[in-house]
Structure 1
Amino acid sequence: MKRKAFALIFTTSIVLTACGGGGESSTEQGASAADGEQLFKQNCASCHGVDLKGGAGPNLTRVGEEYDAAEIEQIIKNGKGGMPQGILEGEDAKKVAEWLSEKK
């Protein structure tokens, strides 16, 4: 029973973390293009790991070898596999995609 309760709490916390805060976006705060890594840490690292080595989501350490920035941006916006759509939108999605496309 304890194992099931822990699994439920753990899963719920991951889902809530992945959904983001809903507050003011970094674009509204005047963020620059160099914020891709910070946006990733805030919105994506709970599934993909701070070190990009994966967890609930796939390993992204070499994602730039498979996809270019535009393709990564579309995956971020539309989701893929178990990844939900809309975690990041607009300029924030573009910044993270550009940052990830450099991972080769």
Structure 2
Amino acid sequence: MKKTYMITSFNVILAACLVFLLFVYEGPKQSQSVSANAGGTSSASAGNAEDIVGKNCITCHGDQLQGGAGPALTKIGSKYNQSEIENIIKNGKNAMPAGVISGDEVTIVAKWLSEKK
């Protein structure tokens, strides 16, 4: 009899997890490409970079780039140049996974971060 309750409890928990995954959890957010504008040129303004960072980076680097699970980025431009920052974003480094940002957004964010000195 105890075995039946255990199996039933397990099935209820499993069903609840399945319902959560199917109806509640939306998965990771996909960022929109900044390069899709009418003129066909990429706009690398600080506002766009801040939006990209706000959507993808603040969880680890903090809302003011002060650091947290990841290092502070407030003066990262004095340590790395734009191409080095692009390389880190694309390929990851230490605990940072590769490909958190992709496409033209990598260049936009790397340029913006390289100016932080």
Matching of residues 1-104 of structure 1 within 5 Å: 20-22=28-30, 24-28=32-36, 30=37, 32-34=43-45, 35-104=48-117
The 8 Å contact of residues 89 and 99 in structure 2, kept in 1 or not, is answered as yes
* Greater length-normalized contact order (CA 8 Å, ≥ 6 residues apart): 1
Percent identical: 47
**Distance between the aligned counterparts of 1:94 and 1:25, measured in 2?**
12
What is the RMSD computed on CA atoms of the aligned residues? 1.8
In the superposition, the TM-score normalised over structure 2's length comes to 0.66
The 8 Å contact of residues 64 and 103 in structure 1, kept in 2 or not, is answered as yes
**Distance between the aligned counterparts of 1:100 and 1:23, measured in 2?**
18
Paired positions, count: 85
Where 1:33 maps in the other structure, the secondary structure is coil
Residue 21 (structure 1) shift = 1.1
In the superposition, the TM-score normalised over structure 1's length comes to 0.74
Shift of the 23–61 alpha-carbon distance from structure 1 to 2, 3 Å rule, reads closer
Return the index of the structure with the highest Cα Rg.
Answer: 2
Residue 50 (structure 1) shift = 1.6
The 8 Å contact of residues 20 and 43 in structure 1, kept in 2 or not, is answered as no
Residue 94 (structure 1) shift = 0.6
Name segments (4+ residues, structure 1) moved above 2 Å.
Answer: 22-28
**Distance between the aligned counterparts of 2:31 and 2:63, measured in 1?**
22
